[in-house]
Each structure stands twice: as structure tokens, then as C-alpha cells.
Structure 1
Amino acid sequence: MKIDRILSNNAVLLITEQGEECVALGRGIGFGKKNGDAVDEAAIESRFLKSSGGLSTFFAEILSDIPPLYLSITEKIIRLARDALTIELQDTLFLALSDHINFAVLRYQKGMAIKNQLLWEIKRFYPHEFAIGQQALRIINESLQLQLPEDESGFIALHIVNASGENNMQKVMLSTEIVKNLLNIVKYDLNIVYDEQSLDYQRFITHLKFFTQRLLTREFVSHQQISLYDNIDQRLPRAWHCAQKLSSYVDKNYQYELTYDEVVFLAIHIERLRKDNFHH
């Protein structure tokens, strides 16, 4: 494998025998080397193949600005996430996360920590990713002798959520924001307290997450089995009324008109939560 570009003493851009570009990390791997030199396989501690398309110069430039230690921290975090979540994570996570860590540290050193406005929601909606975010924060703080705040765990969790789906970060944040608002409407409309451990609450959160994804990608659901839901507005009047409120909120703010079926599904979930609360 030949060096295409030296990113730092510990990171190089390589061209594999198959002609693919990959980032290789290893202590001193780029030290004293020049473009075109061969690399000893044994020196490579980890590598990241960019499977889709070439590594743009933009990608390489960002990586070359990031201290090598941050790259190996990023690699540790991604390995942690892969093992814990047993999901495929997109290659772009390596770039996005190392870039994020770099900026987070720079901001912290300048006394400009950024508040994570969605921290509470991320903890609730993405508990597994958030747990990884917390472990990642410990790794960062211990490796760099820093005290980055818990807000960072939330940001890292969102990066992982983003990399495990086909979303982009903007969408993940917007989706989290919408779920938060919908939950608030139900809470105040029915005057209930959520039992976050209950299965019905977890189901509702999951339903809302998928629902907002559909909303943002403009996919509509219709099951056309009206008989199944006949008179649901009469049978579950309170939940139906609340579901209508969600429907008009979504229509007004996101120009997404819910189908009859979608309102029905919301009403059924809301009714379960209402009953849960009633029994407490």
C-alpha cells in the first residue's frame, strides 16, 4: 500500500491494492515519509475505508487539521458504539465525530462551551446512544485531562444516531425537537405525568420517532381498513380529541396533513397512556 498523502505523523491517506482510498492510523506511521512511499502493514493500528466514492480533498484536509490523539480517541468511541449497538455505522461518522471533538475542545479551551438544548430529550429518546456518549465523554476527558460538560455526551449521542440511519444531523435534531413538542401537547392536554419506565410510554416514543421520520421525508401511511377503527372518535373521545390537537400542530408547523389512519394510531397510543395514568 502506498501513501497518497500524509495527514500527520500518525495518520496517512493510503491507496490500497484495490485502488481504494483509506485513512490509516498508527504511531509514527507518517513520520519521515513522503507521498508514494510504501507502508508497513504491521505499523497500521486501525484503518478506515471510505467505501462510497473517493475521499475528497475536503475530507483529507479536515483530518490533517485534527491532532492524531483525537483521531485515535474517535476510533475508540466508534469501536465502542459498534460493539454496544451491533449496528452498521456510516463511514462518515469518523470524520464527523473527530471534527466535532476537535471543535468541542477548542471551544472549551476558549471558555465557550455550547449548551445542548436537547440534552433531556436525547437522554430519554436515545438512552443507548446516550450511554455511549457518556462513556465517550469519559474517554475524552481522561485522555485529554479536560472536564467537558455532560452536554457533550448528548452531542456525541446525536452523531451516533445520525450515523446509524440515513438521516442528516439537521433532521435528527429537528425530529428530536418535534417529538419533544408532541409529548408536551399530550402531557398538558390530558394533564398527565409520564411514567418513563412504562412499556406504553416507550412504545409511544418509538411511534413518535418513526412518525416524525415519515413527516420529515413526507411519507404517508394509509391502511384503508376503516372498519377496524369505526367510531373511534366516540369510543375514545378524550384520546381522539388530543390526537386531533397533534394533527393540527403538525399541519400548522410542518405542512404535513395526517391521514385518518395516522390520527387513529396516535389516539390508540394516547389512550394507553391516559389509562396508565388513571391507574396510578
Structure 2
Amino acid sequence: MSNYQVKKILNNNIVLCFDIQNEQECIAVGKGIGFQKNSGDFIDESIIEKVYFRKDNKKINQYLDLLSRCDEQLIVTVEELINIMEQRFGDHYDEYIHIALLDHLNFSVYRLNNNIQVNNIFLEEFSVMYEKEYIFAKEALMRINDKLGIQLPDVEAGFITLHVHAALNRENASKSALYMQIINDSIAFIEKTVNQTIPNGSLERMRLVTHLKFALERAGKKQILNNPILESLKKQLPDTYKLAQDLSMMIEEQFGMKLHDGEIGYLTLHIQNIKTRLEEGNNL
């Protein structure tokens, strides 16, 4: 006998259940799982593909409320995408993505239907910082547009990347967005100081983005990076080191994240490399 008893049919593929063995509500997903089922019926466990939100009635209620406001095809497509994500990256992810991604895409469709444009200035940085997630996000966006017969803009791949990265790393998507904002402001700070633009797509820019990403992650974890050539950098590249220091102060003052001296030393190297290439007049 099945342990899963139907409490509410959400659609043919998603059912609110009561897990009798564990005495808890949950969401069960499976192709045709709700077809011709009624409240009180038991579900054949062999067709259950995923069970989530166990012991979390708050998330269940959030999800139920969200489902009532979403197009069924969008709901099915999001669950398909999460299933593909699990196959590609593994099943150790934050289940909240079932809510977060659906909620985001539902609002994206609303913006599209109401001609509300949104910009995402971090697409190139995403492709470097979260390369695997970004590749998946671009594929996901194509699938969404195909399944729903719409044309969400390319910028949505960036937002999908954020949600996937956050889920896989069990962190809030707003944290990843914050890091992107810091990196964007940091590049603008450097460009203003040297009075030149660091070209998009350049190897030096991508190296800087990657270093800043890991520097911010270390700062968030209060990890100190040792830099054996720090004192030498201070003496040999005083102007560039001062720029890196000023950048670090900006990050701390505006975002409350402190970069230690070792990080500032490595930033000095990246910035000096960029300055040298720009001064030589080479294409980065």
C-alpha cells in the first residue's frame, strides 16, 4: 500500500500529499500523477519522480499560493527544467528553487505581456563566474520560449543563472546578485580611475572578474589569503597598489565587505596587467 495520500490535486503532474509513514504534508511530482485522482486516493509510488517540501508547511503554502497564479504550462516547464538541472548537477540543491524560479519566470512573462523591459548588465560576467549554470540557463530559456510560445529576452538567462547557482550552492540569490553589483561597481571604479574602458570579453577583464568573485566569497567567509609578494608589490607598484587599496575601501564603505591585504596585493597584479595592456595600446 502506498504511503502517499492525496490531499489536493494541483494539476496532472503535481499533487499535495500526506505522507502517512512520516506523518507530514509534502508535494509529490510525477508525470500524470494527479490524473483522475481525488482527495483521499492513494498514489502509486512507482510514478512519483520527486517529493519535496517535507516538514515545511510555510513553503508548501507559498507554493500553493504561487501555483494558483501561474499558467499550468509554465509550472510544468519549470518542473521539467529543475529535473534536467538535477540530472546535470546532482540532487544536492535547495528545494526553494521550485518557488523562486517559478515566481521569477511568472513575473518575467507578466513583464513581457505588458511591454515592461528589464536590463541585466551582468550577462558577460555571469558567463565567466558561473559558466556551467549559465550554459544551462541559456538552454532553459530556449526551452521556456519554445514550450510557452513566447520570446523572453536573452537577459533572462542571467536571472535564471542566479537562481540555479543559488540553489546548487544553497545560498540566497540576492547574495549572488550583490556580488555581481560589487564587481560591476569595481570595474567602473577602475575604469574611472585609469580613464579608460576595459573591453568586454577581454581576457584581462575576465581574470579580474573571476578574482573578484573568489575574493568576495573569501571575504564573506572571513578567510585570509596569504600573499608572499605583498611588500614587493607595495614598493614596485605604489600607484597601482594605491588604486587597489582605494577600490577595497570603496567596497568596504559601500557594501560592508572587507578585503584583506593579501587580496589587495593580488588585485594590484590584475589592475597593473590591465593598465600595462591599455598603455601599450594593445587590444585586450
- The number of residue pairs the alignment matches comes to 275
In the alignment, is the contact (CA less than 8 A) between 1:137 and 1:153 conserved in 2? yes
State which of 94, 97, 101 in structure 1 corresponds to 2:98.
94
Cα displacement (A) at 1:7: 1.9
SS at match of 1:143: helix
In the alignment, is the contact (CA less than 8 A) between 1:229 and 1:264 conserved in 2? yes
In the alignment, is the contact (CA less than 8 A) between 2:26 and 2:53 conserved in 1? yes
The CA distance in 2 between the partners of 1:53 and 1:146, in whole Å, is: 34
Deviations 1:188-245 (A, max 9, x none): 43446457463x6544322211223355x4736264x7x6422421112243122122
State which of 34, 40, 48 in structure 1 corresponds to 2:38.
34
SS at match of 2:93: coil
The CA distance in 2 between the partners of 1:91 and 1:255, in whole Å, is: 29
Matched, 1:186 2:187: no
Q: Indicate how the Cα distance of structure 1 residues 32 and 113 shifts in structure 2: closer, same or farther if over 3 A, else same.
A: farther
The letter of the residue matching 2:130 is Y
Matched, 1:111 2:118: no
| Corresponding residue of 1:5 | 8
Cα displacement (A) at 1:262: 2.8
| Corresponding residue of 1:253 | 254
| Corresponding residue of 1:212 | 216
Q: Indicate how the Cα distance of structure 1 residues 105 and 122 shifts in structure 2: closer, same or farther if over 3 A, else same.
A: same
The CA distance in 2 between the partners of 1:36 and 1:185, in whole Å, is: 61
| Corresponding residue of 1:151 | 155
The CA distance in 2 between the partners of 1:58 and 1:36, in whole Å, is: 23
The CA distance in 2 between the partners of 1:69 and 1:267, in whole Å, is: 50
Unaligned runs of 5+ in 1: none
Structural mapping, 1:8-87, within 5 Å: 8-16=11-19, 18-19=21-22, 21-44=25-48, 46-50=49-53, 53-54=56-57, 55-85=59-89
SS at match of 1:230: helix
SS at match of 2:39: coil
Deviations 1:102-142 (A, max 9, x none): 22223322333433344444345433322222211111111
The CA distance in 2 between the partners of 1:135 and 1:257, in whole Å, is: 36
| Corresponding residue of 2:263 | 262
Q: Indicate how the Cα distance of structure 1 residues 262 and 124 shifts in structure 2: closer, same or farther if over 3 A, else same.
A: closer
Cα displacement (A) at 1:277: 5.2
The CA distance in 2 between the partners of 1:17 and 1:135, in whole Å, is: 38
- CA RMSD in angstroms comes to 3.1
- TM-score w.r.t. the length of structure 1 is 0.81
In the alignment, is the contact (CA less than 8 A) between 2:15 and 2:27 conserved in 1? yes
SS at match of 2:152: coil
- TM-score w.r.t. the length of structure 2 is 0.80
The letter of the residue matching 1:241 is K
The letter of the residue matching 1:239 is T
In the alignment, is the contact (CA less than 8 A) between 1:6 and 1:13 conserved in 2? yes
The CA distance in 2 between the partners of 1:41 and 1:109, in whole Å, is: 39
SS at match of 1:114: coil
Q: Indicate how the Cα distance of structure 1 residues 168 and 11 shifts in structure 2: closer, same or farther if over 3 A, else same.
A: same
Unaligned runs of 5+ in 2: none
The letter of the residue matching 1:174 is L
In the alignment, is the contact (CA less than 8 A) between 1:90 and 1:163 conserved in 2? yes
- Segment of structure 1 superposing worse, 3-12 or 267-276: 267-276
